[in-house]
């Protein structure tokens, strides 16, 4: 699992360069989060006892998924006669692409960029990271969700928007920092039995951050 919060922040940085097309920036940031929602599939497979192989970093990280996403939103835009949906689709495509490329660079795993054609790309194939690093990567998911929300909050204040949502925003932000503080010692000092609880809370966080971003779209659009 790469740090989804980093993806979100890179998405925010990329959107700064993108001008003012409505919903384009929102698409880029949301697109940065979408690929790792395949972990939901991993969770379902784990719960049902099915194989978790070939679920993560495959379909949702693929160029064909990007093309399909952009096509779907393009046609929604045509159907609704509203160019914002096309912008959103373009943004989602860019965000997902950015995410997949970033995944190749960070965190020791390959990506099936051309799924379902196969051919995993892995720059890290010959490197086995130390165990403590892998643990830190998992627990740092919460840290980076928190940092992403913190950045979103400071942008909202600067732009003077979404002020009515800041109470709830703060709850989610501090919950992420708290989860990081709780799970870091657990990962290092508890033998086993916590990983599915961690996985469930990770998924809740990922979807929460996704919907908080939609709720705070004025902030995203104002940066």
* Binding region for Zn ion (CB under 5 A): 2, 35-36, 103
Instruction: Please answer whether residues 41 and 55 qualify as being in contact, where contact means their C-beta atoms are separated by less than 8 angstroms.
Output: yes
Q: Nearest approach, Cβ of 111 to Zn ion (angstroms)?
A: 7
CB of 2 to Zn ion, least distance (A): 5
- The alpha helices in 17-122, defined as continuous H runs, are 24-33, 39-48, 63-80, 83-105
Taking the complex as a whole, the smallest distance from the CB of residue 112 to Zn ion amounts, in Å, to: 11
Q: Are 12 and 220 in contact (CB under 8 A)?
A: yes
Q: Which is nearer to Zn ion, 85 or 115 (CB)?
A: 115
Which residue number, 64 or 75, has a Cβ lying nearer to Zn ion?
A: 64
Q: CA-CA distance, 148 to 135, in Å (whole number)?
A: 20
Distance CA 27, CA 220 (A): 10
Give the list of residues 6+ apart from residue 72 with CB closer than 8 angstroms, or none: 89
- Pick 36 or 141: Cβ nearer Zn ion: 36
How far is it, in rounded angstroms, from Cα 42 to Cα 195?
Answer: 13
Cβ 204 to Zn ion shortest distance, Å: 18
Q: Which is nearer to Zn ion, 5 or 35 (CB)?
A: 35
Q: Which is nearer to Zn ion, 103 or 112 (CB)?
A: 103
Q: How far is the CB of 165 from Zn ion (least distance, A)?
A: 27
Count Cα atoms within 13 angstroms, Cβ side, for 118: 0
């Amino acid at each position: 699992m790469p740090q989804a919060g980093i993806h979100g922040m890179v998405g925010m940085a990329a959107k700064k360069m993108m001008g003012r097309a409505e919903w384009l920036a929102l698409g880029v940031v949301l697109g940065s989060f979408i690929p790792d929602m395949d972990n939901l599939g991993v969770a379902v497979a784990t719960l049902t006892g099915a194989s978790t192989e070939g679920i993560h970093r495959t379909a949702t990280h693929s160029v064909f998924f990007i093309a399909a996403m952009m096509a779907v939103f393009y046609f929604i835009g045509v159907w609704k006669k509203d160019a914002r949906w096309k912008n959103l689709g373009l943004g989602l495509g860019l965000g997902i692409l950015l995410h997949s490329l970033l995944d190749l660079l960070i965190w020791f795993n390959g990506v099936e960029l051309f799924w379902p054609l196969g051919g995993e790309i892995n720059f890290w194939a010959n490197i086995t990271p130390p165990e403590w690093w892998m643990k830190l990567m998992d627990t740092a998911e919460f840290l980076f969700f928190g940092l992403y929300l913190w950045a979103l909050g400071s942008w909202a204040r600067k732009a003077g928007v979404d002020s009515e949502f800041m109470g709830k925003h703060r709850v989610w932000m501090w919950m992420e920092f708290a989860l990081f503080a709780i799970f870091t010692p657990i990962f290092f000092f508890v033998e086993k039995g916590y990983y599915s609880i961690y996985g469930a809370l990770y998924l809740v966080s990922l979807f929460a951050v996704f919907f908080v971003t939609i709720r705070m779209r004025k902030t995203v659009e104002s940066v």
